[in-house]
Amino acid sequence: MSNADGRSAARLAAVQALYQMDITDKGLKETCAEFETFWLGGEVEGQIYKPAELAFFKDILSGVLADQGPIDRAIDQTLVDGWPLVRIDSVLRAILRAGAYELKKRTDVPARVAIKEYVDVAGAFFEREESGMVNAVLDHLARRFRAEEFERPR
């Protein structure tokens, strides 16, 4: 498995873990332990999960939680008036938070790569409209957090 595949699997798992934490009272340590033991590279209810880059998975989770207030405010500022983040589906909320964290803090990952990855994650759960919304919000945030990546030619 390539490093890119491990990171893709880590992103998907992080979104699932963030969703789980959002709808339950489980904390970071408990959620990380559960995913590491049962989900990452395992089989759950007949679904085979790809091995994920564990350090990347944990970084996304802990990073989103540590910076959740500023991340949520940045997403809220990007969403259409009248649709604050709290009104968005909890899976979409997890996708946007993970994507925003990566764009804001993981400058080792090109912004366009991060955006594409989270649009792909959205496509695993939703139709084109939601994936398009994820693309638009993350693109806006990328241009805000990493304007220099969009100023120079490709």
DSSP state letter for 36 = I
Distance spanning both ends of the chain, measured CA to CA: 28
- Residue that wins the pLDDT comparison between 77 and 111: 111
Q: What is the pLDDT of residues 28-71, one digit of tens each?
A: 999 988 888 776 766 555 666 667 888 999 999 999 999 999 99
What is d(CA 53, CA 137) in angstroms, rounded to the nearest whole number?
A: 26
The pLDDT of residue 118: 97
The pLDDT of residue 45: 59
Q: What is the pLDDT of residues 118-152, one digit of tens each?
A: 999 999 988 888 899 999 999 999 999 999 998 76
The pLDDT of residue 153: 63
- Domains of the chain, each with CATH number or no CATH: 3-144 (1.10.940.10)
Average pLDDT over residues 2-13: 84
